[in-house]
């Protein structure tokens, strides 16, 4: 694309941060698996070997770029400009870019590159290993780094929750809420995936969301199912949403045309339905994520209704 021509802000820019071993690459690979067939570019800024599943990446036509080079005086990486240029050159353009930041990197700083022409800044997702994050946050060498990462997050994803009792996960979630009160804390893997799968977050840069989203705690649910979904029933369910539902996002195959995706998005008070292109392969499931404000304990009724519609196995 020649300089001076305005580009569509087409490519979502989502940043994955978190300390070494927090589960960034695992999450990245899960997202790539869940989004097989969609155009997602991956940027890794990690040390040693690159452990993004290379087969997966090449099998689905996704592009993996490495971040290299840096500033001679302080070594801060400025190779990102070149990475953006390479992503701009990819044809057809990827819908999304997922950036895995180094374990000591500041994901919020990397998120700023998402304001560049041709990109759309999405959220900052920070992985936190429930088993170790609180110790890491007190660590002599990296405590401040870990806390800075969490404070920069829009979403904190708790990882390795399968290895601890539920009450410990809850306790870590409560602690994260004190460190990063603005962040949403998720750990249900399907909810996390659904969120990332549909293009994480909104087009709103961090810090400019409505104040109520900032201050309150959110919970989210994901609904995934083989579909196809009855189109008119879906519209009916989503037409009547209670006010604590702040976000519904996802893509579904509907009975109207099971060969194409329908992208569903609650924007303001209105639900938009847009064509999401052809369904690239068999076995791809419909998925929706529902985010509610407040500390609700049980499932909201809308989630139950959507499960019924999607034939949800979750």
Partner 1 sequence: MPLVIYPAALVRTMDPARPTAEAVAVQDGRVRAVGTVQELEGYGEHRLDDRYTGRVLLPGFVEAHAHTMGGALWRHTYVGYDERMSPDGRRWPGCRTLESVVDRLREAERALTDPEEPLLAWGLDPIHFPGERLDRRHLDAVSVTRPIVVVHQSFHVSTVSSAVLRADAITAETRVEGVVRDADGEPTGELLEPVAMGLVRSVPTIGRMGFDRGGLLAFGADARNHGITTIVDLGNTDLMDDEAVAGFREVVDDARFPARLSVFHMGGGLAQAVAAEVATERLLSLRASSSDKLRFGHVKLVLDGSIQGYTARLQPPGYLPDDRVGIWLIPPPVFAEMFTTFHRAGLTVHVHCNGDEATELFLDTVEAALAAHPRWDHRHTVTHSQLTTPAQYRRMATLGMCANVFANHLWYWGDEHRDLTLGPDRASRMNAAATALRSGVPLSLHSDSPVTPMDALATASYAASRRTRSGAVLGEHERITVPQALHAMTLGAAYMLKMDHEVGSLEAGKLADLAVLAEDPFECDPDSLREVQVVGTMVGGEPFTVGRDGA
List contacts with partner 1 (CB under 8 A). Answer: 3-6, 19-20, 44-50, 66-81, 84-85, 102-104, 106, 109, 112-113, 115-117, 141-142, 144-145, 205
For position 90 contacting ligand GDP by CB under 6 A, the verdict is no
From the list ligand GDP, Zn ion, Mg ion, none, which binds 286 (C-beta under 5 to 8 Å, kind-based)? none
Tokens for 229?
Answer: 């979904």
From the list ligand GDP, partner 1, Mg ion, none, which binds 263 (C-beta under 5 to 8 Å, kind-based)? none
- Site string (42-71) toward ligand GDP, x via CB under 6 A: ---------x--------------------
For position 160 contacting ligand GDP by CB under 6 A, the verdict is yes
Q: Which is nearer to ligand GDP, 189 or 285 (CB)?
A: 189
Please provide residue 274's backbone torsions phi and psi, each rounded to the nearest 5 degrees: -125, 155
Tokens for 104?
Answer: 């000591």
For position 163 contacting ligand GDP by CB under 6 A, the verdict is yes
Q: What is the 3-state secondary structure (H, E, C) of the chain?
A: CCCCCCCCCCEEEEEEECCCCCCHHHHHHHHHHHCCCCCEEEEECCCCCCCCCHHHHHHCCCEEEECCCCCCCCCCCCCHHHHHHHHHCCCCCCCEEEEECCCCCCHHHHHHHHHCCCEEEEEEEEEEECCCHHHHCCCCCCHHHHHHHHHCCCEEEEECHHHCCHHHHHHHHHHHHHHCCCCEEECCHHHHHHHHHCCCCCCCCCCCCCHHHHHCCEEEEEEEECCCECHHHHHHHHHCCCCCEEEEEEEEEECCCCCEEEEEEEECCEEEEEEEEECCCCCCCEEEEEEEECCCCCCCHHHHHHHHHHCCCC
Binding segment (CB under 5 A) for Zn ion, from list 66-74, 107-115, 193-201, 306-314: 66-74
From the list Mg ion, ligand GDP, partner 1, none, which binds 89 (C-beta under 5 to 8 Å, kind-based)? none
From the list Mg ion, partner 1, Zn ion, none, which binds 25 (C-beta under 5 to 8 Å, kind-based)? Mg ion
From the list partner 1, ligand GDP, Zn ion, none, which binds 239 (C-beta under 5 to 8 Å, kind-based)? none
Tell me, by CB under 6 A, how many residues bind ligand GDP: 15
Q: Which is nearer to Mg ion, 24 or 249 (CB)?
A: 24
From the list Mg ion, ligand GDP, partner 1, none, which binds 162 (C-beta under 5 to 8 Å, kind-based)? ligand GDP
Q: Which is nearer to partner 1, 118 or 277 (CB)?
A: 118
Rounded CA separation 235/245 (Å): 15
Task: Give the full edge-to-edge strand order of the sheet including 119-129.
Answer: 63-66, 40-44, 96-100, 11-17, 119-129, 155-159, 184-186
Residue nearest to Mg ion (CB): 25
Question: Rounded to the nearest whole angstrom, what is the least distance from the CB of residue 138 to partner 1 in the complex?
Answer: 14
- Site string (113-142) toward ligand GDP, x via CB under 6 A: --------------x---------------
Binding segment (CB under 5 A) for Mg ion, from list 39-47, 87-95, 119-127, 213-221: 39-47
Q: Which parts of this chain interact with Mg ion (CB under 5 A)?
A: 24-25, 46
């Amino acid at each position: 694309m020649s300089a001076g021509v305005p580009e569509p802000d087409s490519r979502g820019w989502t940043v994955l941060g978190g300390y070494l071993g927090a589960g960034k690459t695992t999450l990245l690979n899960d997202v790539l698996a869940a989004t097989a067939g969609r155009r997602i570019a991956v940027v890794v800024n990690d040390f040693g070997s690159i452990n993004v599943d290379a087969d997966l990446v090449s099998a689905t036509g996704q592009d993996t770029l490495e971040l290299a080079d840096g500033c001679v005086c302080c070594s801060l990486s400025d190779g990102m400009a070149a990475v953006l240029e390479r992503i701009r050159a990819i044809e057809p353009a990827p819908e999304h870019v997922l950036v895995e930041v180094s374990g000591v990197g500041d994901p919020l700083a990397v998120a700023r590159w998402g304001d560049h022409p041709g990109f759309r800044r999405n959220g900052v997702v920070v992985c936190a290993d429930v088993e170790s994050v609180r110790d890491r946050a007190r660590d002599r060498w990296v405590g401040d780094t870990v806390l800075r990462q969490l404070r920069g997050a829009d979403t904190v994803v708790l990882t390795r929750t399968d290895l601890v009792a539920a009450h410990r996960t809850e306790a870590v979630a409560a602690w994260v809420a004190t460190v990063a009160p603005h962040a949403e804390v998720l750990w249900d893997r399907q909810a996390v995936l659904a969120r990332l799968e549909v293009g994480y977050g909104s087009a709103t840069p961090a810090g400019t969301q409505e104040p109520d989203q900032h201050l309150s705690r959110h919970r989210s649910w994901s609904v995934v199912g083989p579909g196809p979904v009855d189109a008119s029933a879906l519209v009916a369910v989503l037409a009547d949403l209670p006010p604590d539902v702040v976000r519904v996002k996802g893509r579904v195959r509907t009975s109207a045309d099971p060969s194409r995706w329908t992208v569903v998005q609650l924007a303001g008070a209105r639900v938009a339905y847009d064509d999401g292109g052809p369904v690239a392969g068999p076995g791809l499931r419909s998925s929706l994520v529902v985010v509610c404000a407040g500390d609700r304990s049980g499932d909201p009724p809308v989630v139950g209704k959507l499960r019924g519609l999607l034939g949800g196995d979750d």
